[in-house]
């Protein structure tokens, strides 16, 4: 191969008049989206305590309505005000390691974000979604705060990479079967498929 061929560059002519914004808006979010984990939490025990838990885990009325949730991780393990609730620069990360929201959430909640798509599904029953993983520490902490109750968590990753059932009591994960009247909805119901 002559030396002049080594230095050749291929040039692609620009596509004039082509709007790439629609391509970016469709494909970029796909690469940044988490795998969603669908969670169902059943709380069993004294009904008065279950009502107390339901009040405890919901966002207070003082928070604007759009930001309220029926199941809020911040109520169980609150994020300290010293944590940056935005992206941080490399300099800020060096000066204040482990104080950005993402690292804090992963370390304390075991998941990227707070619960979302939350709803109540009867007394002591919550449905919520998490990003990428199961909020093990959150449910463990909640069971520690209400040691008289049993907390059963059923979690399924949206592409069926995992399907997990865990039970907690008094801050510990236990192997206790759920009573028949508290059986989980089917996996298909959990993901909204009839």
**Percent of the chain with pLDDT strictly greater than 70:** 65
Give the CATH number, domain containing residue 61. Answer: 3.30.70.1270
Residue 123 falls within a domain, yes or no?
yes
- Using the 8-state DSSP alphabet, how is residue 30 labeled? H
Q: Kindly write down the DSSP assignment for every residue of 44-57, as one continuous string.
A: ES-HHHHHHHHHHH
Residue 176 falls within a domain, yes or no?
yes
Given a cut of 60, is residue 124 above it in pLDDT?
Answer: yes
Q: Token pair for residue 20?
A: 């790439």
Number of other residues whose CB lies within 10 A of the CB of residue 139: 24
Residue 50 falls within a domain, yes or no?
yes
pLDDT tens-digit series, residues 21-36: 444 444 444 445 668 8
114/22: higher pLDDT: 114
Given a cut of 80, is residue 151 above it in pLDDT?
Answer: yes
| Number of domains making up the chain | 1
Residue 106 falls within a domain, yes or no?
no
Number of other residues whose CB lies within 10 A of the CB of residue 22: 9
Containing domain of residue 120, as a range?
36-77+111-190
Which of 66, 55, 64, 41 minimizes the C-alpha distance to 168?
41
- According to the model, what pLDDT value does residue 18 have? 54
Pick the range with the lowest mean pLDDT from 57-61, 64-68, 177-181, 184-188: 184-188
């Amino acid at each position: 191969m002559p030396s002049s061929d080594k230095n050749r560059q291929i040039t692609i002519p620009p596509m004039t008049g082509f709007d790439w914004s629609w391509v970016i808006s469709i494909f970029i979010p796909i690469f940044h989206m988490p795998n969603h984990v669908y969670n169902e939490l059943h709380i069993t025990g004294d009904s008065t305590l279950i009502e107390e838990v339901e009040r405890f885990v919901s966002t207070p009325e003082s928070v604007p309505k759009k930001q309220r949730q029926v199941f809020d991780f911040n109520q169980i393990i609150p994020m300290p005000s010293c944590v940056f609730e935005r992206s941080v620069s490399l300099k800020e990360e060096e000066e204040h390691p482990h104080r950005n929201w993402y690292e804090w959430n992963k370390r304390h909640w075991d998941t990227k974000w707070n619960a979302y798509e939350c709803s109540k599904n009867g007394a002591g029953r919550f449905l919520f979604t998490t990003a990428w993983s199961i909020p093990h520490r959150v449910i463990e902490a909640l069971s520690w705060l209400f040691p008289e109750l049993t907390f059963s968590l059923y979690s399924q990753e949206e592409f069926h990479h995992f399907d997990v059932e865990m039970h907690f009591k008094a801050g510990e994960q236990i192997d206790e079967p759920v009573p028949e009247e508290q059986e989980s909805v089917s996996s298909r119901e959990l993901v909204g498929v009839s």
